[in-house]
Structure 1
Amino acid sequence: MFDVDGIYNSQNQRIWVASRDEANEKGGIKMKQKFPKKVMVRLAVCSKGVTPLAIFDQGTVDHKVYIQNVLPVALEFGSKIFGEHWIFQQDGAKPHVHHLTQKLCQDKFPSFIGKDHWSPNSPDLNLFDYSIWDEFARAINWKTVISKTTLIKELKRAVKEIRQDVILQSCSYWTIRLQRVFKNDECYLNK
């Protein structure tokens, strides 16, 4: 989710200070609208680049919207880039693990890692969680975002600014992380 107030995750971004004034000096106080205008973004990456950006400005995405609007784009992109030799991986979002989504992926994609064979809630194995979202957010000029319309316009511009070297480095780290998970009896990574 992206909203017009910028990216700020109160669960992950915290500043420890003695006073509210000191927090404000260090940029720790973030002003947020009560109900900011927001959009949901769908993006995928592989060593060859990023998929076309999908923007959903009408709220969350259920399995029907995901199957109709997202999976065809992923299938077309993967097939165009890799032919018949590639693997499709998703995270554990509800639309991804829905039985109809799983069936379609199993039937249509050349190879697919189903929900029962992938670590649930594993930020260790999600390039977006440890790299790509930060790169994408860095490319956004938040000073130009004042409405949902300008947010969408800026997202479309910024996705083109995701650096290929960051994508390649993320994919390389992903492979290393995957190998470490297998060595760790398919559990989370050890520090």
Structure 2
Amino acid sequence: MQSKDLQNIVLSKYQNGDTPTKIFRDLNGGIGLRTIKRWCQMILQSGSITLSSPPGCPRLARTKGNIRKVKNRLRRKKRVSARKLSMKLDISERSVRRILKNDLGLHPYKKVVEPLLSDDQKIKRKKFASWIRTNFRKEETMRILFSDEKFFDIDGVYNSQNDRVWTIDRADADKNGGIKHKRKFPQKVVVWLGACSKGVTPLVILNEGIVNHAVYIEKVLPDALKYGNQVFGSDWVFQQDGAKSHSHHLTQQWCRDNFPSFIGKGRWLPNSPDLNHLDYSIWDELVNIINWNKVQSKTTLIQQIKSSF
């Protein structure tokens, strides 16, 4: 609560007949009893609370001029660096952050990464949503087996934004894991996985790192069919994205001949990771569980994928 608001409360209560002690208790220690008594004396003498100067030390950094400069900078450019602002205004970075948070009431938010959808893709999403609503009841969507493939390589992953090494200087950081080495052509494998309301399928690891329609039909689709029949019986739907191995005419024919139902070629939307559980969260969970320090070769990579899964 601002000092002016407190003054108005004290003025109102004292004019209504409350004693300084009662006002102090009503404010629950929000302001000292000695100050309340001094303010009441002012009210008694002049009918108002008149302070010769604002309470506390004068502001040297969070002045009205600096607050206005920060506000104008935000109007011109949404991305603002507190460090650069502090250098430009010749005040501390801490003061800049206080201006942003306390004086302007702002909060910092990280950018959310989303797929960039073209107008054509937006139209396809709308058509897909209409098709789903027309052809699937809610209980039927619970019988969809979603599927996806993902590349894993022996270099692993790291978060450039949040992974930090705390040391006294850059040289010490480099000695203690501050450098992430990336090979030009790292060894990699392809992992296929299915997920549905009943759980997840067994992993299918394709050691060759290449998935064409022949490999997909031979090594992936039979596992998907076996799992779907086990958990759903003869009434379920198989989903796959529009990868070339999936949309190949022989793959489509195999799906028509074997699956009770499947989402056919051209129906599933491109660039839509938010619609598949695997893209949305499961792959990320698996990646973060793997102990990448133990991954030195393709063999150890496969071992870690299996044990983490």
TM-score, normalised on structure 2?
A: 0.45
- Structure 1 distance, partners of 2:297, 2:233, is 40
Give aligned-pair identity as a percent.
Answer: 61
Give the SS at the match of 1:129: helix
Partner of 2:270: 120
Return the letter of the residue paired with 2:251. Answer: T
Distance in structure 2 (CA, Å) of the matches to 1:35 and 1:82: 41
Which residue, 177, 181, 194 being the options, matches 1:31?
A: 181
Report the Cα distance in structure 1 between the residues aligned to 2:304 and 2:245, rounded to whole angstroms.
26
CA 1:47/1:28 → structure 2, altered by over 3 Å: closer, same or farther?
A: farther
Partner in structure 1 of residue 190 of structure 2: 40
Amino acid of the structure 1 residue aligned with 2:261:
S
| Other-structure match for 1:140 | 290
Q: Name which of 233, 237, 240 aligns with 1:90.
A: 240
| Runs of 4+ in structure 1 over 6 Å off | none
2:217 to 58, 67, 76: 67
Contact conserved, 2:242 with 2:266, CA < 8 A, in 1?
no
Q: Cα RMSD between the aligned structures?
A: 2.2
Asked whether the equivalents of residues 91 and 126 of structure 1 are also in contact (C-alpha less than 8 Å), the reply is no
Aligned equivalents of 2:256, 2:271: Cα separation in 1:
21
TM-superposed CA distance for 1:38, in Å, is: 1.0
Q: CA deviation at 1:29?
A: 6.2
Task: Say if 2:229 is the partner of 1:79.
Answer: yes
TM-score, with length taken from structure 1? 0.70
| Residue 129 (structure 1) aligns with | 279
CA–CA separation in structure 2 for the residues paired with 1:63 and 1:5: 27
Cα deviation, residue 116, structure 1: 2.6
Does the C-alpha gap of structure 1 residues 106 and 121 become closer, same or farther in structure 2, counting only changes over 3 Å? farther
Find the counterpart in structure 1 of residue 120 from structure 2: none
Residue 14 of structure 1: how far off its partner (Å): 5.8
Match of 2:155 in 1: 5
- Tell me which amino acid in the other structure corresponds to 1:98: H
The letter for the 2-side match of 1:55 is I
Contact 1:92 1:121 in 2 (8 A): no
3-state SS of paired residue (1:36): coil
Tell me which structure has the larger Cα radius of gyration.
2
Q: Distance in 2 between matches of 1:28 and 1:65?
A: 40
**CA deviation map 1:109-162 (0-9, x unaligned):** 011110232222321212221111101112211111111111011111111xxx
Q: Distance in 2 between matches of 1:28 and 1:45?
A: 36
Aligned partners of 1:92 and 1:128: how far apart in 2? 15
| Cα-to-partner distance string for 1:83-108 (whole Å, 9 max, x where unaligned) | 01111000111111111111111221
1:5-27 alpha-carbon deviations (Å, 9 max, x no partner):
1025xxxx665xxxxx7xx89x9
- Determine the C-alpha separation between the residues in 2 that align with 1:101 and 1:88: 13
Gaps of 5+ in 2: 1-150, 162-169
Partners of 2:188 and 2:201 in 1: CA distance:
21
8 Å CA contact retained: 1:4, 1:37: yes
- What is the aligned counterpart of 1:58 among 208, 211, 229? 208
What's the CA shift string for 1:16-71, capped at 9, x where partnerless? xxxxx7xx89x996320122111111111112111111111212110000001100
Is contact 2:154-2:187 (8 Å) kept? Answer: yes
